[in-house]
Chain A
């Protein structure tokens, strides 16, 4: 059974970098049938897909245009996990951040989620 366990701080100062990690059990970050996503949810933005990483002979990443200049999602094969880094954060980045396993032809089905991390951007 695949499970995702998130870790990272719940408070980040404006202009700093938000960093979260998602540890995978029951699957591999290098799986060829899944992609590893970050999604956030806030009252103002609703559910917002941020991006993903996946392995198909080499590593690929896709990012939402809204955050593309500030985001990186990186796999760590040694620890079987992946991470989110969002830099230059503002209070508008305050949200619940969740990792999710994506499957399907376009890895478009988010069927397994982490527990969510409430991240507040405040000084």
Chain B
């Protein structure tokens, strides 16, 4: 299985802050990476595919970059509704695997 790691595991931020999360794969996955947002008690919401492509309807303050083994997820200006946990997910190989998540909470 391809192992996914994320850092940090949690961070505290204020509205308006720029937030950056990194995701690393245990082997080269090209650009085969998704990002999801999850709020407590809810299913994950799909945000970004192919490492950097925004799903339709997702605000442009969200962005992703990277390829190979190292990826970055950025929220350019954190909004109140963005406090949540964010997960990366690789689809370079089966089984699909997820990162452990990064919790973004209020500073």
Q: Which A residues form the contact surface with B (CB < 8 A)?
A: 46-49, 62-66, 98, 100, 104, 106, 108-111, 113-116
Contact = CB atoms under 8 A, between A and B. Distances in A.
Interface in B13-39: 32, 34, 36
Nearest to A47: B98
B43 interface: yes
Interface string B65-95: 0000000000000000000000101010011
Contacts of A115: 43
Given A46-B101, A49-B95, A108-B96, 11 more contacts: A47-B89, A47-B98, A47-B101, A49-B97, A66-B95, A98-B43, A108-B49, A109-B46, A109-B49, A110-B46, A114-B43
19 contacts: A46-B98, A46-B100, A47-B98, A49-B95, A49-B98, A62-B94, A64-B1, A66-B95, A98-B43, A108-B32, A108-B89, A108-B91, A108-B96, A110-B36, A110-B46, A111-B55, A113-B43, A114-B43, A115-B43
Q: Which of B43, B55, B101: most chain A Cβ within 10 A? A: B43
Nearest to B95: A64
Contact of A47 (B32, B44, B94): B44
A66 B43 CA distance: 23
Contacts of A46: 98-101
A113 B32 contact: no
B49 A104 contact: yes
Interface residues of B, number: 20
A98 B44 CA distance: 10
Contacts of B101: 46-47
Contacts of B96: 49, 108
Contact of B44 (A48, A108, A113): A113
Nearest to B46: A111
Given A65-B1, A108-B96, A47 B87 contact: yes
B34 A108 contact: yes
- Nearest first, the 7 closest Cβ-Cβ pairs linking A and B are A108-B91, A113-B43, A47-B98, A64-B95, A49-B96, A111-B46, A46-B100
